[in-house]
């Protein structure tokens, strides 16, 4: 198990503990099945990183009323947002942006949505970073201004930030 997967699992343990103590009537969603994740990978034509699979298998999303950064996307939410953006935005640009941190373009199909604010914005895992970026970095996608970031080094950092946000 990679260090990032371990950090994601540890973050989920802290999140579950926080919900049990602070929102005992709220029940986190059960995990997605391996078959659901495989269907998602087939639909988008990309393998998901192991840390995202581990997160989805732990809990398949969290609604926007209970997640500190909007809605934590479920398998269905990832597919919905990814398909919408892939259909609307042209990703034909070459080269790097943000000093080489990610590839140029308004949208890239190698960006996997992980959260959403309901207005077309949200964080994405970058599976094909620029020459100075890191695969798995978390970038921010804004439907009006496009991508910016990276916001977090990886999904472990993102999940740890969510723990901090919950704890306030």
Of 78 and 120, more confident = 78
Q: What are 31-69's pLDDT values in tens digits?
A: 999 999 999 999 999 999 999 999 999 999 999 999 999
In terms of DSSP H, where are the helices of the chain? 3-22, 34-44, 50-58, 75-88, 155-167
Task: Say what the pLDDT of residue 104 is.
Answer: 85
List, in order of start, the domains of the chain with CATH numbers: 3-167 (3.40.1580.10)
pLDDT at site 105: 84
Q: How far is Cα 63 from Cα 67, in angstroms, rounded to an integer?
A: 6
What is the pLDDT at residue 96? 78
Share of the chain above pLDDT 70, in %: 98
Specify the pLDDT at position 97.
79
Burial class, 87, CB count within 10 angstroms (exposed 0-12 / middle 13-18 / buried 19+): exposed
pLDDT of residue 67: 97
Instruction: Give the pLDDT of residue 35.
Output: 98
Q: How far apart are CA 53 and CA 8, in angstroms?
A: 10
Segments in 46-145 forming alpha helices (H): 50-58, 75-88
**138 has pLDDT over 90:** yes
Dig out the tokens for 20 from the structure. 């049990």
Instruction: Give residue-wise pLDDT tens across range 6-37.
Output: 999 999 999 999 999 999 999 999 999 999 99
Residues 84-110 pLDDT 10s: 988 887 655 677 777 899 888 888 999
- Predicted local distance difference test score (pLDDT) of residue 98: 78
Instruction: Decide if 42 contacts 83 (C-beta within 8 A).
Output: no
Q: What is the pLDDT of residue 92?
A: 58
């Amino acid at each position: 198990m990679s260090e990032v997967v371990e950090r994601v699992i540890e973050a989920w343990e802290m999140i579950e503990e926080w919900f049990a103590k602070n929102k005992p009537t709220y029940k986190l969603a059960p995990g997605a099945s391996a078959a659901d994740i495989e269907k998602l990978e087939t639909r988008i034509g990309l393998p998901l990183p192991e840390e995202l699979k581990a997160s989805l298998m732990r809990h398949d999303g969290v609604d926007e009323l209970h997640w500190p950064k909007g809605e934590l996307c479920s398998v269905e939410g990832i597919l919905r947002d990814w398909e919408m953006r892939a259909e609307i935005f042209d990703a034909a640009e070459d080269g790097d942006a943000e000093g080489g941190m990610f590839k140029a373009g308004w949208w890239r199909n190698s960006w996997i949505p992980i959260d959403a604010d309901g207005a077309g914005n949200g964080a994405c895992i970058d599976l094909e970073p620029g020459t100075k970026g890191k695969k798995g970095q978390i970038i921010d996608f804004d439907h009006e201004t496009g991508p910016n970031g990276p916001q977090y080094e990886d999904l472990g950092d993102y999940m740890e930030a969510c723990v901090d946000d919950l704890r306030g």
